[in-house]
């Protein structure tokens, strides 16, 4: 069942709230504008399933679930005003849309004209390919280029015009004044999920005020919003991103299949003290050990992101988030108590050196 983002605590206390007194009409307008923005973005989001059939869900269900993940990551009293919530929601909507061909006005031709496409295509060809191999190489280069460029394209989509059959020009965010107030922040924050954590403070704008037509206390902190997007996106790896029926219709191989398998088996995480805790709905048999190890590596990546963002927030005087790590990732054995295995035990095979001379001699180094 699709997640209803309007039930998330973050939505209910910002754009979904009716408790803003004299500022309520402004909140109502932002809420209605978000509904329209989401309806338009949904059309492009669904195109990702066609352009990227091997990937887990990057459509509107993933976008809506980011409200849920963000609500886990921040405290209920975490400072976030309706203007910031609108910007954050807009970044949720745009961050992956560049993975769909239709996000480019020229479609496939526009992507293939990108210099990145030629470089990727050339790097994958070692011999003169047959016609069938050339078609396969071009398809792979197209998908790779979309993935490499999607964040940059996300930054352009706020202001990008799309032309209807009648020649009418339309934008995803229809309200011109809201594009003027918030467009740069939405685009830059959407793009920021693809840069390193260390780059974030210089990549997004500094804290700033808003247009004079908005309440004076509704100031914007783009770094805070970029961190929320980054962590919500990275941590959303549960079964909602790998629907069973969709996988049946789009069978995968290799690493793509392993991603689908492990995400299908992961439950929605819970917050355990200051940690995200992931568990599995089903055990991983030995035949699915590769998927389990990929889950382990992915959860370690999320743990690293949480810790990196926590350090940035503390160093720069931002309020830390409610969660700052992932439970069980210190060793494979500990994670196996949460993400279960069946008939086999994951063992940490990392080489631990206590007597360097002995190891060097054993390995033939002396």
Per-residue pLDDT of the chain (366 residues; tens, 9 = 90+): 678 999 999 999 999 999 999 999 999 999 999 999 999 999 998 888 777 766 666 789 999 999 999 999 999 999 999 999 999 999 999 999 998 888 988 888 888 888 888 888 887 655 555 555 556 778 888 888 888 889 999 999 999 998 888 888 899 999 999 999 999 999 999 999 999 999 999 999 999 999 999 999 999 999 999 999 999 999 998 766 544 434 343 444 456 778 788 888 999 999 999 999 999 999 999 999 999 999 999 999 999 999 999 999 999 999 999 999 999 999 999 999 999 999 999 987 654 444 444 433 433 333
Cα dihedral: 152, 153, 155, 156 (round 10): 130
The pLDDT assigned to 352 comes to: 46
**For every residue of 203-242, which 3-state class applies, written as one string?**
HCCCCECCCCCCCCCCCECHHHHHHHHHHHHHHCCCHHHC
Q: How far is CA 310 from CA 71, 91, 131, 295, 315, in A?
A: 16, 21, 51, 22, 9
Q: Is 86 helix (H, G, I), strand (E, B) or coil?
A: helix
| pLDDT of res. 133 | 55
Q: What are the phi and psi torsion angles at 284 (to 5°)?
A: -95, 115
Helices (H), the chain: 9-12, 24-51, 60-73, 82-94, 107-112, 115-123, 131-156, 176-192, 200-203, 222-235, 244-249, 254-265, 289-315, 332-335, 356-362
pLDDT at 108: 86
């Amino acid at each position: 069942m699709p997640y209803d983002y309007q039930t998330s605590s973050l939505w209910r206390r910002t754009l979904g709230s009716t408790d803003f007194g004299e500022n309520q009409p402004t909140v109502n307008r932002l809420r209605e504008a978000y509904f329209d923005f989401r309806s338009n973005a949904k059309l492009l989001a669904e195109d990702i399933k066609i352009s990227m059939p091997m990937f887990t869900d990057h459509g509107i269900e993933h976008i809506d679930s980011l409200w849920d993940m963000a609500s886990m990551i921040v405290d209920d009293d975490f400072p976030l005003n309706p203007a910031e919530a609108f910007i954050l929601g807009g970044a949720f909507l745009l961050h992956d849309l560049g993975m769909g061909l239709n996000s480019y006005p020229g479609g496939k031709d526009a992507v293939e004209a990108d210099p990145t496409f030629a470089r990727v295509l050339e790097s994958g060809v070692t011999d003169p390919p047959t016609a069938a191999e050339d078609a396969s190489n071009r398809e792979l280069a197209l998908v790779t280029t979309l993935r490499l460029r999607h964040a940059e394209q996300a930054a352009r989509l706020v202001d990008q015009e799309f032309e209807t059959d009648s020649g009418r020009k339309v934008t995803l965010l229809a309200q011109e004044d809201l594009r003027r107030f918030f467009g740069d922040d939405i685009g830059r924050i959407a793009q920021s999920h693809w840069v390193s954590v260390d780059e974030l403070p210089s990549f997004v704008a500094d804290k700033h005020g808003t247009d004079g037509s908005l309440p004076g206390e509704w100031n914007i902190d783009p770094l805070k919003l970029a961190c929320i997007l980054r962590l919500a996106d990275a941590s959303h790896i549960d079964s909602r991103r790998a629907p069973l029926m969709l996988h049946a219709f789009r069978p995968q191989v290799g690493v793509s299949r392993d991603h689908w398998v492990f995400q299908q088996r992961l439950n929605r995480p819970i917050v355990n003290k200051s940690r995200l805790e992931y568990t599995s709905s089903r055990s991983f048999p030995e035949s699915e050990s590769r998927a389990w190890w990929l889950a382990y590596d992915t959860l370690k990546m999320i743990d690293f992101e949480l810790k990196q963002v926590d350090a940035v927030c503390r160093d720069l005087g931002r309020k830390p988030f409610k969660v700052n790590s992932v439970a069980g990732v210190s060793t494979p054995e500990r994670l196996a108590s949460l993400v279960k295995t069946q008939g086999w035990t994951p063992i940490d095979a990392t080489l631990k050196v206590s007597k360097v001379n002995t190891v060097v001699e054993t390995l033939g180094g002396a």
